[in-house]
Amino acid sequence: MNALASAIDQALNGETKPKRLAFVMLAAEFGQIDNGRVNYISNGSREDMLAMMKEFIARAEGRYVETGGAA
């Protein structure tokens, strides 16, 4: 997974410092996701990636409400 993460980070960010794009990769065996093992890797801090995943889940479940901003 480290090699995959490095390749994804390189494809997204190249040598750009600071990095511009963050990613999270989850991998699990089919049929073993519930009560199984889910592997996780990212190129960001744990706290930032948890916030990103929580927002994604809220949007996917229809619980996220956009506030402010122009469309």
- Structure confidence by residue, pLDDT tens digits, 37-71: 889 999 999 999 999 999 999 999 988 777 765 55
User: What is d(CA 71, CA 67) in angstroms, rounded to the nearest whole number?
Assistant: 11
- Which pLDDT value is given to residue 68? 62
**At which residue do the structure tokens 């996780």 appear?**
40
Q: How many domains does the chain have?
A: 1
User: What is d(CA 42, CA 27) in angstroms, rounded to the nearest whole number?
Assistant: 12
| Any domain includes 20 | yes
Beta carbons of 29 and 36 less than 8 angstroms apart: yes
Q: Is the pTM of this model over 0.85?
A: no
| Any domain includes 27 | yes
For residue 27, give its domain range: 2-60
pLDDT, tens only, 27-40: 999 888 788 788 99
| Any domain includes 69 | no
| Average pLDDT value for residue range 9-28 | 94
Closest listed residue to residue 24, CA positions, set 56, 62, 64, 60: 56
- Which pLDDT value is given to residue 70? 57
